Amino acid sequence: MFTIENNTYPVLGIDISTYSKDDFFLLVEERLKEEDASAPPLFVVTVNPEIAIQSIIDKDFKEILRTSSINTADGVGISWAVNFLYNKEIERITGSDSLEIICGYCEKYNQSVFFYGAAPGVADKAAQVLKEKIKDLEVIGTYSPDSQDMPFDELPLQTKLALKNASVIFVALGAPAQEKWIHANLSRLTKCKLIIGIGGSFDFIAGNAKRAPVFFRKSGLEWMYRLYREPSRWRRMMMLPLFALNVLFLKSGSQSVQASRQSIQAGPHSFSNNGNFKISK
């Protein structure tokens, strides 16, 4: 199986991949070309600060994030944290940006896709929009469950069969529900090559929600634009300062430990206040 060396950097206990966009999509492309039925599927999580904080509260969720194949930096807060903690620049790879690119690869290599989640009708609309852009894209099915935790066995028979035969599955239930659904059902999805949680991306594709202009996305202010458009998100936005505080405390604690170790190693008659701290895996 094709592989690319991948260093990871832990942010609040979540290992964040350092794949560049080019390397990430090359890995996706190679996995879709792979014909070995025994090769495991790629389980991709696009991590933002809300996910990081939720993983502290929800231990089951954190364990799921340890079993995923790749955890990318979706939110600007994650890329900032990696740079702040480890002095490492990484590219953001978001679910919204990835969806159309992956569908393009699926058309190229004759791989089927399934759109699971979102409100009724949204996945159908997103599929229609993408099929207009990507002419030969095979959308093997769409489904909006009655609840985020709807058991696989309670899905309609046609939906279950389509999911079991899909090469790529996009799950839009919102975190952590989508990652929990993937983890619970991955063993049933025997022909799946790639599965990824994409949050509200179907709504963006379908035109039900407007994504932030490019300027806001590139400058890391997409959260501000979304808060302006959806003031009800203010409670979720409170996760951002909480995340930043946790990262600051982590940095401070790491520097203190490092300084203490250096002082002990230097002996009782010398003192070091070098607080630089860096980890690479």
Q: Is the pLDDT of residue 178 over 60?
A: yes
Angstrom distances, CA of residue 160 to CA of 29, 59, 89, 153, 243: 25, 29, 41, 8, 38
Q: Is the pLDDT of residue 265 over 80?
A: no
Average pLDDT (106-132) is 97
pTM of the entire structure?
Answer: 0.84
Residue 261 located in a structural domain: no
Residue 111 located in a structural domain: yes
Give the dihedral of Cα atoms 59, 79, 115, 126; nearest 10 deg.
Answer: 140
User: How far apart are the C-alpha atoms of 36 and 29, rounded to whole Å?
Assistant: 14
Cβ contacts of residue 12 below 8 Å, gap of 6+? 52, 53, 55, 56, 81, 243, 246, 247, 250
Average pLDDT (141-163) is 97
Residue 57 located in a structural domain: yes
What is the per-residue pLDDT across 203-251, written as a single tens digit (0 to 9) for each? 999 998 766 566 566 666 666 656 656 666 556 667 788 999 999 998 8
What pLDDT, on a 0 to 100 scale, did the predictor assign at position 122?
97
For the chain, what's the residue count? 281
- Pick the more confident residue, 274 or 128: 128
Residue 254 located in a structural domain: no
- Pick the more confident residue, 214 or 72: 72
What pLDDT, on a 0 to 100 scale, did the predictor assign at position 208?
87
Q: Is the pLDDT of residue 275 over 80?
A: no
Query: Residue ranges of the alpha helices (H) in the chain?
Result: 21-33, 49-57, 59-67, 76-86, 95-108, 122-133, 157-165, 177-185, 201-206, 214-218, 222-229, 234-237, 239-266
User: How far apart are the C-alpha atoms of 223 and 237, rounded to whole Å?
Assistant: 8
What pLDDT, on a 0 to 100 scale, did the predictor assign at position 279?
38
User: How far apart are the C-alpha atoms of 77 and 52, rounded to whole Å?
Assistant: 10
Q: How many domains does the chain have?
A: 1
Give the dihedral of Cα atoms 113, 116, 122, 127; nearest 10 deg.
Answer: 0
Residue 50 located in a structural domain: yes
Q: 230-259 b/e with 16+ CB inside 10 Å = b?
A: eeeeeeebebbeebeebbeebbeebeeebb
Say what percent of the chain tops pLDDT 70.
79
Residue 248 located in a structural domain: no
- Asked if residue 17 lies in contact with residue 71, where contact means CB atoms within 8 angstroms, the answer is yes
Q: How confident is the model at residue 269 (pLDDT cuts 50, 70, 90)?
A: very low
Domain that holds residue 91: 8-237
Q: For residue 154, give both structure tokens.
A: 């309670």
Q: Strand, helix or coil at 141?
A: strand
Residue 244 located in a structural domain: no
What is the per-residue pLDDT across 16-65, written as a single tens digit (0 to 9) for each? 999 999 999 999 999 999 998 889 999 999 999 999 999 999 999 999 99
Residue 249 located in a structural domain: no
